[in-house]
Amino acid sequence: MATSASTVLRRALLYVPASSPRFMAKTRSLTCDNITYDLEDSVTPSEKEKARSYLANYLASNTKPPSVGELAVRINAVSTPSALGDLTALATSPNLDTIVIPKVNSAADLSFVTDVLRHAAPKRYSNGSDARPFRLIALIESARAVMDLPSICAASPDLKGLIFAAEDFALDLSLTRSPELTEFLYARSAIVTAARAFELESTIDLVCTSYKGESGISRLEEECRSGKGLGFNGKQCIHPSQVDIVQNMFGPGEAEVQWAVRVAVADDKASAEGRGAWTLDGKMIDAPVVGKARVILKRAESCGFDVARVVDKWKNQEPE
């Protein structure tokens, strides 16, 4: 039943405008896998430098809260004059884990960011005890980026995930976003497939722009189900009220964990008997199904699920 060490969990990625010291301070009371302080879309051009200064000071004077898994910053696009200043100003922040890079259109964008960070924070890329390279996450926002996904995924050893930016993608292709999201099916499938092929940790789905009232919650839940069904393992959030829902939806549920434990327990017994395929509840179980069950259990443990409790409940499960 043992599983290997888990990768970084990013069920929810919450954007917080770096132009607001008040909003940044509020994040210290949140429980969230990833908080991304935003220097891009939520900050007006006239406030860019001020927001960068606010964020650098905030990161220098505050440690990462224990209830936050990862602290990140979304810099401005590499194609803008602000990107280089963002990177050099924040590269020495010891509490910053990850750089989120918007509007990645080619491998060159990630190569640029990687090179700047290696020069600005050499200790983090050394072979010594201080080595802690920045993780990179790329936002896929255009038709060109979707077509260039293989080279983007291979561009940097520090790339850990891809994010789908629906609104900019819709703008690029002159699409109108519908509740069904069918207009994004190809791009979303391409992103999760490429990320899996290149063994990236995270695939983070589009923002749900609805977050108020019952209709907003219903829309958010439906989008989470849709994204999870396509293979995404996280979702962007634009309001703290979305975080708990998203993290619950992208974590394994009780029924899912119960099934996975039954499969894993029975498979251990089947393997001891030399059986490569067997049945459970009248359905055939073979290596791919067992592999899926063990991935669910690994993720459940990462999410804090009490897997041992369920294992104890089903310890007598037998392969049929």
Q: pLDDT (tens digit, 9 = 90+) per residue, 150-169?
A: 999 999 999 999 999 999 99
When pLDDT is cut at 50, 70 and 90, the band that residue 6 belongs to is: very low
**How far is it, in rounded angstroms, from Cα 53 to Cα 19?**
9
Residue 255 clears pLDDT 60, i.e. is over it: yes
Judged on CB neighbours under 10 Å (0-12, 13-18, 19+), 195 is: buried
Instruction: Write the DSSP assignment of 228-251 as a string of letters.
Output: HHHT--EEEESSGGGHHHHHHHTS
Strands (E), 109-268: 135-140, 159-164, 202-205, 234-237
Average pLDDT over residues 233-259: 94
Query: pLDDT value at position 131?
Result: 84
Contact (Cβ atoms closer than 8 angstroms) between residue 82 and residue 116? no
When pLDDT is cut at 50, 70 and 90, the band that residue 17 belongs to is: very high
Q: pLDDT (tens digit, 9 = 90+) per residue, 179-234?
A: 999 999 999 999 999 999 999 999 999 999 988 899 999 999 999 999 999 999 99
Residue 3 clears pLDDT 50, i.e. is over it: no
Query: pLDDT value at position 5?
Result: 35
- The residues facing 32 across adjacent strands are 68
Q: Which of 213, 209, 317 is nearest to 260 (CA)?
A: 317
Average pLDDT value for the chain: 94
DSSP 8-class letter at 125: G
Average pLDDT over residues 107-123: 97
Q: How many CB atoms lie within 10 A of CB 96?
A: 22
DSSP 8-class letter at 182: G
Q: How many CB atoms lie within 10 A of CB 93?
A: 17
Looking at domain 12-249, what is its CATH homologous superfamily? Phosphoenolpyruvate-binding domains (3.20.20.60)
**Binding residue ranges:** 74, 141, 168
Query: pLDDT value at position 83?
Result: 98
**Binding residue ranges for Mg(2+):** 141, 168
**Binding residue ranges for substrate:** 74, 141
Query: pLDDT value at position 126?
Result: 87
Domain spans in the chain, listed from the N-terminal domain onward:
12-249, 254-313
Q: Quick check: helix, strand or coil at residue 123?
A: helix
Kindly give the residue spans of alpha helices, DSSP state H, lying in 231-317: 243-249, 254-272, 287-302, 307-313
Residue 311 clears pLDDT 50, i.e. is over it: yes
Q: pTM for the full model?
A: 0.89
